[in-house]
Structure 1
Amino acid sequence: MIDLRRLHVLRAVAHYGTVTAAARALHFTPSAASQQIRQLARDLGVDLLEPQGRGVRLTPAAESLLAHADAIQARWELAELDLRADHGAPAGPLRASGFPLAVSVLLAPMASRLRERHPRLSVRIQEAEVPAGFDLLFEGEIDLAIVEATIYNPPLSDDRFDQQPLLDDPFDLVVPEDHPLAGRDGVDLAEAAHEEWIAPVPESPCRPHVLSACGEAGFTPDVVHHAMDWNVMAHLVAHRLGVALIPRLAHLTPHLPITRVRCTGNPHRKLLTCTRGGGHARPAVAAALAELRDLAPTAVA
């Protein structure tokens, strides 16, 4: 008989990449986590970890076991749904996370609507950047996340997560209000090729989108300033320190002497909703997803 607690430790090692990181996430010591996996290996009569340099890696047997483990987790989500069903009425806690813009523009109004329409539902929101959102889902700390599609996300084929498109968030070129490109109905980014640029910091998930959009227009931007916050970037533009690509979802400080100009070619980023495999069927999560789908079209209008 497989001990599901030990199986979860193995799943955590696969998710976080090392025994130490998995132990930290599960509030174990590394030695205790290793002991759980060794005992699971003895129970099954197979090796689950093998040395790789100074660390370890999963064996083929462990990879095969994990495919079943992820399916078991999804079935467990559905089993909990059946056990706790209350005639399909959304009730109880709903825990959601998102990066700052997603919280401000999507999750906050979603929570307000759910409170009015489903008074037995208690919504809890946690701000978290994209990688942390997947970790929180995996750990069972949240039920729903809004994430940005990046090359670092788990693949859509990963059965641990159900990732669904929510909206495309276009990037606008933001320039000083007296800039030669201001007031245009649309602009080809190539026309800004010789400008000084303000871009997201290197670790931002939006930075690759900005650089890719410029690359598709045929140039590498001369980035002279970096910022984490879109409003910080807008203030730098207002002081004529450069131009920037800023997503339309971002609500910028009003009355700044800047202008948004739509870009031809429609550079954009994709936002997704993400739940654990099987988790989207819970009435509370289903109600939240319905509200988000209703809010999405007007969020970037």
Structure 2
Amino acid sequence: MIDRRLRVLRAIERHGTVTAAAEVCRMTPSAASHQMQALARELGVVLLEQEGRGVRLTSAARTLLAHGEALTAQWERAVADLATHGAGDVGGTLRFCGFSTAAAAVVPQALDRLRREHPALRLHLRETEPSRSFDLLAAGDADIAVVVATPNIPPVSDAAFDQQTLYDEPLDLLVGAGHPVVGRPDVALSEMAADPWICSSPGRAYHQLVTLACTSAGFAPDVAHYADEWDTGAALVARGFGVALVPRLADLPARHDTRRIPIGAPPVPIRRVIAAVRAGSQEQPTIAAGLAAVRQVCGALSTTLAAPTS
């Protein structure tokens, strides 16, 4: 009932180019461009202006998006109200997306709760990077995102989404068994400025977290190796090729001889895990049940978050 071309315009705003927006909307750049041209003609306004290699939205386009977000949120609330006319059972399909250890530590347990409490509910999980999770929410391809807050996700003020903090997770230093700091109760991150580092590939959420943590501690990490899987990173750390930061909830392979050491001196690096849904959708029975299950699981994590295991 809401013009689907508004989703394309929204994607252009987020990603800065028609090509990138077309990719997340699963269409060709030509089709996306034609849709924007047709929408502009129908409304009698200019929506996009060339800016370098990308495009920028005009003031008319931003006005249109503001109305589109309000309409979309109202539609989500309408769906929630219509659910009260149903049978009362929570059923249908609930689609989660999540990132790395946030998905592993929280969502499967939430799915297990939902399966027991609402057996008619069909459940799906897709593991994705945080920014991609918001694309899936906006496209209606996911209902709840459980992700790490990073600089490239929409701000909390973004009217298209409702975001809530689930928990703050400390990042611990991971070193090999023979590292000089082994045996200490904690370390300052700044002490690791001269060490080589193991980090994920540039552009990934974990790379952003490590870079920001080290910068806050007063140094730029000397990244010696890139590893996107905990197994690979832990193997490199265990053999003395560098140090790493690992989320406290990360389940590392036991076969690698590593040690976790808490960061004791400020600034203590953390990552914030959030749940996000489309604005207005949180009262829909399936989504409300999913959010409740996620919050229950997160409430039980306090003991695990309090202290690392070696």
Q: For each residue in 1:57-102, what CA deviation from the matched residue of structure 2 results, as whole angstroms up to 9, or x when unmatched?
A: 3221111111111110000111112223336642210001112322
Q: Are 1:68 and 2:67 matched, yes or no?
A: yes
| Matching residue of 2:308 | none
Q: In structure 1, how many angstroms separate the alpha carbons of the residues matched to 2:53 and 2:271?
A: 38
After alignment, is 35-44 or 55-64 more displaced? 35-44
Query: How many matched pairs?
Result: 300
Pairwise CA distance, 1:32? 4.3
How is 1:244-283 mapped onto 2 (pairs within 5 angstroms)?
244-264=244-264, 265=266, 266-283=268-285
How is 1:84-233 mapped onto 2 (pairs within 5 angstroms)?
84-85=83-84, 86=86, 89-233=89-233
Q: Do the aligned partners of 2:175 and 2:244 also contact (CA within 8 Å) in 1? A: yes
- For the aligned residues, what is the CA RMSD? 2.4
Q: In structure 2, how many angstroms separate the alpha carbons of the residues matched to 1:24 and 1:221?
A: 33
Pairwise CA distance, 1:123? 0.8
Q: Do the aligned partners of 2:145 and 2:276 also contact (CA within 8 Å) in 1? A: yes
AA aligned to 1:114 is L
Q: Do the aligned partners of 1:106 and 1:292 also contact (CA within 8 Å) in 2? A: yes
| Matching residue of 1:296 | 298
Q: Do the aligned partners of 1:183 and 1:259 also contact (CA within 8 Å) in 2? A: no
Pairwise CA distance, 1:298? 4.1
Alpha-carbon spacing, 1:178–1:67, altered in 2? closer, same or farther (3 Å):
same
| Matching residue of 1:286 | 288
Q: Do the aligned partners of 1:3 and 1:40 also contact (CA within 8 Å) in 2? A: no
Pairwise CA distance, 1:223? 2.5
Query: Secondary structure in 2 aligned to 1:249?
Result: coil
Give the TM-score taking structure 1 as reference length. Answer: 0.89
Q: In structure 2, how many angstroms separate the alpha carbons of the residues matched to 1:110 and 1:156?
A: 24
Q: Do the aligned partners of 1:93 and 1:123 also contact (CA within 8 Å) in 2? A: yes
Structure 1's unaligned 5+ residue stretches are none
Q: For each residue in 1:24-43, what CA deviation from the matched residue of structure 2 results, as whole angstroms up to 9, or x when unmatched?
A: 44454545444443443344
**Identity fraction in percent:** 45
Q: For each residue in 1:93-152, what CA deviation from the matched residue of structure 2 results, as whole angstroms up to 9, or x when unmatched?
A: 000111232222211111111000111211111111112101111111010111211111
Structure 2's unaligned 5+ residue stretches are 306-310
Q: In structure 2, how many angstroms separate the alpha carbons of the residues matched to 1:195 and 1:6?
A: 50
Q: For each residue in 1:39-60, what CA deviation from the matched residue of structure 2 results, as whole angstroms up to 9, or x when unmatched?
A: 4334433332344456643221
| Matching residue of 2:82 | 83
Query: Secondary structure in 1 aligned to 2:205?
Result: coil
Give the TM-score taking structure 2 as reference length. Answer: 0.87
Q: Do the aligned partners of 1:148 and 1:270 also contact (CA within 8 Å) in 2? A: yes
Alpha-carbon spacing, 1:201–1:120, altered in 2? closer, same or farther (3 Å):
same
Q: In structure 2, how many angstroms separate the alpha carbons of the residues matched to 1:122 and 1:275?
A: 18
Q: Do the aligned partners of 1:171 and 1:262 also contact (CA within 8 Å) in 2? A: yes
